[in-house]
Amino acid sequence: MTSLDVYLHHDRVGRLERQPQARLGFRYEPDWVEKRGEPLSLSLPVSDQLYGDEQCRPFFKGLLPEGEFLKTIARIFHVSAENSFTVLEQIGGECAGAVSLVPRDSIPPFLSESEPRWLEDGELGELIEDLPNPGLADDPEQDGVGFRLSLAGTRDKLPVLWGEERIGITRGYPPSTHIIKKPAPELAAMVANEAYCLALANQGGLKAAQALPLGKGTQEGLLVTRYDRRQEADGTAFRIHQEDLCQALGILPEQKYQAEGGPGVAAAAKLIREHASAPAVDLLTFLDALIFNLLIGNTDAHGKNYSLLLEEDGGRRLAPLYDLLTARPYWPFERKMAMKYGGEYRADRIRGRHLDRLADDLGIARRTVRRRVVELGERVLAAREAARDRVPSPWRGAELIDRAEAFIAEVAGDLRKAAAEAD
C-alpha cells in the first residue's frame, strides 16, 4: 500500500502518500481544490501543491495515539510505531473529528453495513481490562475489518457507542459517540479525579466534556461524551471536524509542551484571533481555560489538549475542555505547567506582573485578566460541592477530591493576591 484515501465527513478530499524512508506526502483531490472545499487543517490550506513530510506529518501524526499506547497498538497490528503511514492504514478508519483514512479506492467505514457489537452483561469489565487491545471489537467474520478507530493521546481508550444505557462497538458507522478511558495504574483515583474536574469546570460555568465513571468488578473506566459529535433527537450522531492546536499550527505531537517547542499562550491567541469566528469571545474562553487549569493544577494542559471545532457553516470556535485532571495529588507543587503564564511556569510563583504579561500575550486588557482571575476563582470555589455531588458514589468519596478542593482554595487565594498587586 502506497497511498490512503483521506475523507472529511463523506467527501474524499485528498490522498496521503507513503514516501521513501517512511516519510509522508499529502495532496488534495483536484475537484476539492477546484470547489475550494474546507481544509483538513489550518496548517494545510487547500492547494494543488504536494505537502511534504515536514508540512503534513504534524496533522496526520497528531491523529494517532502516543507513547506506550501507540506502541501497544502497533504491536497488536504487527507494524512499526515509528511508521505513521502503516499505523494509520490499520486504525485510521475513524479518527478524531470527521477524518477517515482508508486504503486507496476501498469502502470507507462510514459506509459500512456492519451492525454495532453491543456488549452483553459482564463484557464491559473484560473490555476495560483488555484496553488498548481491540479484543471484543475485532470480529474475524467481518472480512478482517475489525477495530479500525484511532484516538490521539497517551491514555488507553476506545471509541464506543452509548445508547439506551448500553455500550456498543462500531466499525465507523454509526460513528462512535463516547470514549472509554482506562486509568493509568500508577495514578490513584484517576477516574474520580477526571470526573470531578470535568464536573467542576461545567459547574463553574465553563464548557467541558461530560463524563460518567464506570465500574465492573475490579475494573473501572471513564465514559466521556465526545464533543466532536452532534446527536439529533432520534439519537442519530454526526461527526464534527476538529483539530488540536498543535495540528493547526503544524507542530509535531512530541513537541506539545511549550518547553519542547510547543505552542504557548501568544501563539494560541494569535491562531484564535486570526481564525475563530468570534475571536473576542474565544479569547476570553481561552483565558478562562488557562485560569481553570491553573486553579486545579492541570500540568498537562499542553497544545494537544486545546482544540478548534469546525462548524457546519465553516466557522471555527474553541472546543469544550477535555482531559482535565489535577496533578497536585501526584506531583510536587513545584511541577511546571505545560504553558507559561506571563513568562512563569510555576503556579506558586505567579504574581501581578505575570498576569499582566499573560494579558499582553492574549491581547486582552490587563484589568480584564486580573478581574477574571478573581471572578473565576470565586465561581470555581463556590462550585465544588455541586461538582462533587455530580460524581457518582463510590467515586464521590475519594480522598483525592478532598485534597484537590484544598489545593484549589490555596491557588485561588494566591491568584486573588496576585491580581490585587500594584501594576
Residues noted as catalytic: 300
Query: DSSP characters for 203-271?
Result: HTT--B--EEEEEETTEEEEEEE-TTEEE-TTS-EEE-EEEEHHHHHT--GGG-SGGGT---HHHHHHH
- Burial class, 103, CB count within 10 angstroms (exposed 0-12 / middle 13-18 / buried 19+): middle
Do residues 34 and 19 lie in contact, with contact meaning Cβ atoms separated by under 8 Å?
A: no
Could you tell me which residues are beta bridge partners of residue 25?
Answer: 17
Q: Which residues contact 236 (CB under 8 A, 6 or more apart)?
A: 174
Closest CA to 336 of 421, 259, 409, 277: 259
Residue 300: which of 328, 267, 269 has the closest Cα? 328
Cα dihedral 161→311→152→33 (10° resolution): 120
* CB 213 within 8 Å of CB 182: no
Distance CA 402, CA 384 (A): 10
Extended beta strands in 286-389, E state: 307-310, 316-318
Closest by Cα among 215, 7, 22 to 111? 7
User: Is the Cβ–Cβ distance between 91 and 137 less than 8 Å?
Assistant: no
DSSP annotation of 83 reads: -
Round to whole Å and give the CA distance between 120 and 369.
51
